[in-house]
Structure 1
Amino acid sequence: MTAAPVPDQAPTRTRYWVLFLLCLLAMITYMDRAANGSAKKAIMEDLGVGEEDFFWVLIAFQLAYAMFEIPSGWLGDTRGPRSTLLRVVLWWSLFVGLTGFVGTSYLGGVYLGFTALIVIQFFFGVGEAGAFPNIAKALYNWFPAADRGFAKSIIWMSARFMGGLTPLVWVVLTDWKIGGIHKPDADGVTTGLSWRGAMWLFASVAAVWCFVFYFVFRNKPSEHPLVNEAERAEIDVGRIEAKGPVQVPWGKLVRSRNLWAICFMYVVTNFCWYFLMYFLPRTLQTEFKKWTEEPNGRILLALLAGCPLLIGMFGCLLGGTLSDRYIRRTGDRKWGRRLFGMIGYGGAGLCYFAAAGVKLADPDNLFLFAFFLVLMGFMNDLIMAPAWAVCQDIGRDYAATVSGAMNMFGNLVGAVSTLLITGLLMKKYPGTQGILICFTMYGVVYFLGVGLWLLIDPTKPIAGDSEPASRPVQATEESETVTG
């Protein structure tokens, strides 16, 4: 156990620069992912494939994203998040760049068609799978337990901010020039940045981040030259470091009922939320066509499509902050995590029901329809920081692996099923009928999620599931997660 902070030395604040870098990574992750929803019409037109079949591309991404969560988390736990994050970000930036070549024969005369796009998106998902588990590991290493919920909420706030802003950024990059919306030239061709150019720009941003990250980040505060003893003491107070290399207890992970409850809980978010990321932008354009006839209307729809994520970022911040505050005041870590997860899921389900009701009763009411979807995004995101903080609570030295297990299961079952079900439903029942079916289904699933939170106990770590959940508060790792 480490000593208290050095009294005559002002602590450095290097951990906040680390947090800033990780927030940028979360933003880039969602920017690159959300670009698919904005670019799909242009991509499919260049490929000569119907836009309604784009969900196969999304399924390929989500399958890979789910399958490689645990391996990426294991790498972060055993080899450190620094080398793992550098590898995965460089990997996915390569495949974001390759996406810009589909529909062409630029690469050695080889034509990249729809099948190539699916393969490219699969490998893009392989890379992105490593981001959030290793962010969780980095936060575990760099932040004291009392600040981990808050730090995780800042990460998700940043991710949602960029995910929500991307549809608007995309319109600005591809439809705008200095002075306003692009006008077709004499040949009827716009002079703006093509969707390919936008993809290459996004890929380059990720590559630049890797360059900066290489020089700034270290796996632990003890390895960083700019961290003084006082800051290390602040970060490590009460922490019990693992002796020797971390050995992930796979048997305990598989047998942990707590971890299985977390995994099924996270299925709910992935099943119900991905409509906002991949289907909402185009749904608004097709269901409220009169707004697409004017440039300002297109900008409005792009902004509304991103608003559930933009407002959701405040849900991320509020959920983590309130969870930590509740635990500090009551000492009850179990309900400090559960309560805001249950409120978030219950509220999100009601919002989906309300949005379906609006579409049924007043199908042309864009603003009321969008209002309930925006509120749904906020309510869903109340659970994000508590959910990921629970993984740190029970995972500790295996935080990346536990986070990866939750994200893998959630994406594999939740995201893939909703993309497949929603994609097929929207294809078979276009328009209001498909929306009503999907939204009713999502609302029911959210209410099932409320019950799943009751099965989660953040006071039982993976390494000690058989130990009593209640014990005296001590300055050890057990008490550390009480406030984290």
Structure 2
Amino acid sequence: MMKPPEPAILPHQHAPRQTAQPNFVSQPTTRPSRIRWLILSLLFLVSVITYIDRGNISVTARQMMPAYGITDQQMGWIFSAFVMGYALFQIPGGWLADRWGARVVLTGALLWWSICTAFTAMVAASELANLVGTVGALMLVRFCLGLGEAVALPTFNRAVTNWFPAHARGFGIGVAIGGIGLGSAITLPIAAWVMMNWGWQTVFYLSSLLGLGMGLLWWLLARSHPHEHPWVNEEEQALLEREPPTSIDVPWRTFRQTPTVWWLVLSYSCLGYVAYVYLSWFYLYLVNVRGFDVLRGGIYASTPFLAMLLFCPLGGWVTDRLAANYGLTTGRAVAGMTGMVLAGVLIALGALIESPFLAITCLSFGAGWLYFSIGAYWASTTDLSKAHAGILSGLMNTGANIGGTISPTLTPWLAHHWGWPVSLGVAAAIAILGGLLWFKIDPGKGLKT
């Protein structure tokens, strides 16, 4: 009897054009490091410090003015002295940032203005006051403080340009400058509380210590370029374009021949005028005109700056999304114009409303919409020329501070002669004008060659 044949064992057949590949170990993937967000967080904190050191005098003025016999008009001169120094050094500050990088330049600036902040508390008893008088000495110290702080925002723009890709720079600069809102918001109530308990001089000393500490932190943790930072891996570097070394020569002729540059400067001058109404006079307006006491005035005066904190990065995100979907020119113009026009409308309403709390609400949202447009302005300078982002933004911010130099002095003068509704109405009209000027701004074309 024969056994049945055993079934044949055939080798496994692979599908046509497929080859079996051994896969014993899955290949690991390395995620990009996130040091760019550390840099942005540090810029946000520096922004907070700048506005603590800038805005503390608007609170301490309440005790400084009677102590030294300073009038409203003289205090306006002191406010304007800061803005004059701030305006004059914007372009040199931007050039320094382009030339030497954000790490070195911002560290030096923090040290400089922190020393000036401390000196504000003691200058009236110094030899300088004997030479030029108390008002003159305060004007000179505030002017020097302005020179130091002028470096900050153009350096922010240089850092964001180096550390963020093109599609995220509006949001990046919006977050960085949004620290203005937090710094201004916390300065008013905290400075008022410190002043009531320990005297106005202590406000300046504490502000100075914060600045010195921030300068040390920035030096230790920040670098000017991603490839210089030891914590940045290759994957994160691959996300960012490495910019070749910036030429020392500034193409001034090209700037002069590009109309968008000058329309940006003019429009941003309008924003600067309005912003300095809030920075210089809003707290005193609430206390002296709307009838709030010192501490409650400090709390309510922080609301416009909290609105800035929220609206500034929001506007940066919106302008980036609009630019990605509709082109640079449309994306920047829609965000910039919307913010400025709505700011003007709300400021005008706040000036006319009798209810103090409704007025604060309108004026606060007016400040928020004003800063909604910030990302569009600053990203436009980078759109025009990445290589010269620092100096272009410094040039633009010079315009803002020309407006800001006029505002602290003109605002009380208008209020004295025609009342605060007229004074704030002028600011509202200037905001709307700044918004309409976006019809002339075309960053998508770049610099004229």
- Please report the TM-score for the alignment, with normalisation by the length of structure 2: 0.90
- 3-state DSSP of counterpart to 1:167: helix
Q: Aligned letter for 1:449?
A: G
Structure 1 pair 244/196, CA: closer, same or farther in 2 (3 Å)?
A: closer
Counterpart among 42, 47, 53 of residue 74 in structure 2: 53
1:22-74, Cα deviation, whole Å (9 max, x unpaired)? 11100000111110111112222222222442000011111110010001111
- Which moved further from structure 2: 347-356 or 118-127? 347-356
- 3-state DSSP of counterpart to 1:454: helix
| Counterpart contact for 1:341–1:453, Cα < 8 Å | yes
- 3-state DSSP of counterpart to 2:302: helix
Structure 1: how far apart are the matches of 2:382 and 2:28? 29
Q: Give the CA deviation at 1:111.
A: 9.6
Unpaired stretches in structure 1, ≥5 consecutive residues: 1-5, 176-191, 293-297, 467-484
Structure 1: how far apart are the matches of 2:314 and 2:246? 37
1:341-366, Cα deviation, whole Å (9 max, x unpaired)? 111111111112212321xxx3xx21
The residue aligned with 1:259 is 261
Matched positions, count: 423
Matched, 1:214 2:219: yes
Q: Give the CA deviation at 1:302.
A: 1.3
Counterpart among 401, 416, 419 of residue 405 in structure 2: 416
The residue aligned with 1:145 is 166
Q: Aligned letter for 1:103?
A: A
Structure 1: how far apart are the matches of 2:113 and 2:386? 28
- 3-state DSSP of counterpart to 2:224: coil
The residue aligned with 1:194 is 199
Which residues of 2 match residues 242-253 of structure 1 at below 5 A? Answer: 242=244, 245-253=247-255
Structure 2: how far apart are the matches of 1:249 and 1:141? 20
Q: Give the CA deviation at 1:156.
A: 2.1
Q: Give the CA deviation at 1:122.
A: 0.6
Counterpart among 329, 333, 336 of residue 328 in structure 2: 333
Q: Give the CA deviation at 1:228.
A: 1.1
Structure 1 pair 395/48, CA: closer, same or farther in 2 (3 Å)?
A: same
Counterpart among 76, 81, 95 of residue 116 in structure 2: 95
Q: Aligned letter for 1:16?
A: W
The residue aligned with 1:446 is 431
Counterpart among 316, 320, 333 of residue 320 in structure 1: 316
Structure 2: how far apart are the matches of 1:148 and 1:402? 15
Structure 1 pair 15/252, CA: closer, same or farther in 2 (3 Å)?
A: same
Which residues of 2 match residues 423-434 of structure 1 at below 5 A? Answer: 423-426=412-415, 428-429=416-417, 433-434=418-419
Structure 2: how far apart are the matches of 1:456 and 1:243? 28
Matched, 1:301 2:297: yes
Q: Aligned letter for 2:108?
A: R
| Counterpart contact for 2:286–2:301, Cα < 8 Å | yes
The residue aligned with 1:477 is none
Structure 2: how far apart are the matches of 1:109 and 1:437? 39
Structure 2: how far apart are the matches of 1:17 and 1:244? 24
The residue aligned with 2:422 is 437
Structure 2: how far apart are the matches of 1:227 and 1:456? 36
Q: Aligned letter for 1:82?
A: R
- 3-state DSSP of counterpart to 2:231: coil
Counterpart among 347, 350, 357 of residue 352 in structure 1: 347
Structure 1: how far apart are the matches of 2:131 and 2:204? 19
Which residues of 2 match residues 91-240 of structure 1 at below 5 A? Answer: 91-105=112-126, 113-175=134-196, 192-236=197-241
| Counterpart contact for 1:46–1:103, Cα < 8 Å | no
Which residues of 2 match residues 35-74 of structure 1 at below 5 A? Answer: 35-74=56-95
| Counterpart contact for 2:246–2:387, Cα < 8 Å | no
Structure 2: how far apart are the matches of 1:212 and 1:112? 37
| Counterpart contact for 1:95–1:123, Cα < 8 Å | yes
Larger radius of gyration: 2
- Which moved further from structure 2: 401-410 or 106-115? 106-115
| Counterpart contact for 1:40–1:51, Cα < 8 Å | no
Structure 2: how far apart are the matches of 1:101 and 1:421? 28
Q: Give the CA deviation at 1:331.
A: 4.0
1:124-161, Cα deviation, whole Å (9 max, x unpaired)? 00001000000110111111112211111111222211
Q: Give the CA deviation at 1:259.
A: 0.4
> What is the RMSD computed on CA atoms of the aligned residues?
2.1
Structure 1: how far apart are the matches of 2:137 and 2:246? 44
The residue aligned with 1:269 is 271
Structure 1: how far apart are the matches of 2:29 and 2:228? 22
Structure 1: how far apart are the matches of 2:326 and 2:190? 43
Q: Give the CA deviation at 1:96.
A: 0.4
Structure 1: how far apart are the matches of 2:129 and 2:423? 43
Identical counterparts, % of pairs: 28
Q: Aligned letter for 1:276?
A: Y
- Please report the TM-score for the alignment, with normalisation by the length of structure 1: 0.83
Structure 2: how far apart are the matches of 1:419 and 1:7? 59
Q: Give the CA deviation at 1:14.
A: 1.2
Unpaired stretches in structure 2, ≥5 consecutive residues: 1-26
1:183-213, Cα deviation, whole Å (9 max, x unpaired)? xxxxxxxxx2221111011011101111111
| Counterpart contact for 1:152–1:320, Cα < 8 Å | yes
Structure 2: how far apart are the matches of 1:301 and 1:42? 14
Structure 1: how far apart are the matches of 2:410 and 2:246? 46
Structure 2: how far apart are the matches of 1:44 and 1:353? 29
Q: Give the CA deviation at 1:109.
A: 9.4
| Counterpart contact for 1:345–1:383, Cα < 8 Å | yes
Matched, 1:390 2:411: no
